[in-house]
Structure 1
Amino acid sequence: MGAVKTKRMPRAVREQQMLDAAVQIFGQRGYMAASMDDIAELAGVSKPLVYLYLNSKEDLFTACIRREATALVAAVRAGVVAGLPADRQLWDGLLAFFTHTAGHPDAWTVLHRQARTHGEPFAAEVSALRAEIVDFVTQLIAAAAREAHRDPDLPEDEVAGLAEALVGAAESLAAWANATEGVTARQTAATLMNFAWAGLGSLMEGRPWTPPPASAP
């Protein structure tokens, strides 16, 4: 194969092209099967240029994770308007999350599946993303508690647990929705909202579900 001819363009633009190509290759083929040759060809550059800009396959994969994680968090935050009722803020956040993951399926595969299965440092990058989203959801649930005037009665660890459960459900649903033909982001968000808010609403109104008494030893 002959050398790939490249047009002069700013380094930042060229680097984003490489990352775009890398996300597609990593997302569709997996980290182990992805080759720098294929990434360079898809980006329309030479393989030496990819190494010059991004050093190694590991560094390239890490750069992909960081870029896509930043974009996902930014999309969720941008989708939520402060000052609206708590249920509307949660709905807007979920809709923004599922809209982004549906619009960037390769990126979601990289974040949700590939990065988690190849150990450090990739898993740590995704953990940082998840922690930021969990923290954001925790704030939304705490705001809902304040709105319902039940903030003193909702323990901090319970708020944290609810946020973890909601984010975990969102992650699983996003993977399912991307693999299921015909399911829209709005439908997926509504599914999780109906599942979560019915319970959250009862909790905020002072009607929590109570487990049965523990059996006697």
Structure 2
Amino acid sequence: MPAAGGKRVPRAVRERQMLDAAVAVFARRGFRAASMDEIAEAAGVSKPLVYLYLNSKEDLFTACIRREADALTAAVRDAVEAGAPPERQLWGGLLGFFEHTAAHPDGWTVLYSQARTVGEPFAAEVASLRARIVDFAAGLIAAACGGAPGAPEVAAYAYALVGAAESLAGWAATAPGPVPAGRELAASLMTFAWSGLSRAVPAQ
């Protein structure tokens, strides 16, 4: 209950606070070790309120995965300049990916290091995110190399590019020393990928 004379916090704001706290705790402690008590304390609310809003630890973790996945997908899509040359669009997508993961390390840790390793149903949520990004990357790559988005060789390029981006962002998130900034990571992968894609010829 709100204090006398105080204002009730809107549900959307309170839920966002809980998810912010949960992402930080899950990233630091892992799904199995994290407790609802820790999450409630970090959010500044009671544990019963967390259960009231988000039902269970499993549902809370799923909500965190979906929120972070949606935010990452939006960052990649929004960074691509419509109508730009293919190489510029590909660069924008890579830049959006690496700048987002660098700016939201806890969210990336939940997606890359936690959700994929805990098992189902959480791994399926991350697989869905990956499929969305691969499909989007395939469209950019098809435009860049003159292939069809559904062609096997384009799919292969897309999976290779997304896998490389994930691995590079994972390294940047866990490296013990200084690492390149998001823009530098994007430039490294763009240089690596574009040297081949610019000369790629669709299989006949």
Same fold by TM-score, threshold 0.5 exceeded?
yes
Aligned to 2:90: 90
How big is each residue's C-alpha offset from its partner over 1:113-159, in whole Å with a ceiling of 9 and x where there is no partner?
Answer: 1001111110110011000000000000111133xxxx37x981000
Aligned to 1:165: 160
Aligned to 2:50: 50
Aligned to 2:101: 101
Aligned to 2:124: 124
Structure 2 vs 1, CA of residues 128 and 183 (structure 1 numbering), >3 Å: closer, same or farther?
same
* AA of the residue aligned to 2:183: R
| Identity over aligned pairs, percent | 67
Aligned to 1:212: none
Partner of residue 195 from structure 1, selected from 175, 192, 197: 192
SS of residue paired to 1:163 = helix
Structure 1 stretches lacking a partner, 5+ long: 209-217
Deviation at 1:202, TM superposition (A): 1.8
The reply on whether 1:70 has 2:67 as its aligned counterpart is no
* AA of the residue aligned to 2:34: A
Aligned to 2:13: 13
SS of residue paired to 1:202 = coil
Structure 2 vs 1, CA of residues 155 and 17 (structure 1 numbering), >3 Å: closer, same or farther?
closer
Q: Is the 8 A contact 2:145 2:198 kept in 1?
A: no
How big is each residue's C-alpha offset from its partner over 1:51-96, in whole Å with a ceiling of 9 and x where there is no partner?
Answer: 0000000000000000000000000000001111111111110010
Tell me, in whole angstroms, the C-alpha distance in 2 between the residues paired with 1:13 and 1:155: 41
Tell me, in whole angstroms, the C-alpha distance in 1 between the residues paired with 2:150 and 2:76: 25
* AA of the residue aligned to 1:137: A
Partner of residue 178 from structure 1, selected from 173, 179, 185: 173
Structure 2 vs 1, CA of residues 144 and 55 (structure 1 numbering), >3 Å: closer, same or farther?
same
SS of residue paired to 1:42 = helix
Aligned to 2:39: 39
* TM-score of the two chains, using structure 2 as the length reference: 0.92
Moved over 6 A (4+): none
Q: How many residues align?
A: 197
* TM-score of the two chains, using structure 1 as the length reference: 0.86
Tell me, in whole angstroms, the C-alpha distance in 2 between the residues paired with 1:103 and 1:75: 11
SS of residue paired to 2:169 = helix
Structure 2 stretches lacking a partner, 5+ long: none
The root-mean-square deviation of aligned C-alpha atoms, in Å, is: 1.9
Structure 2 vs 1, CA of residues 105 and 91 (structure 1 numbering), >3 Å: closer, same or farther?
same
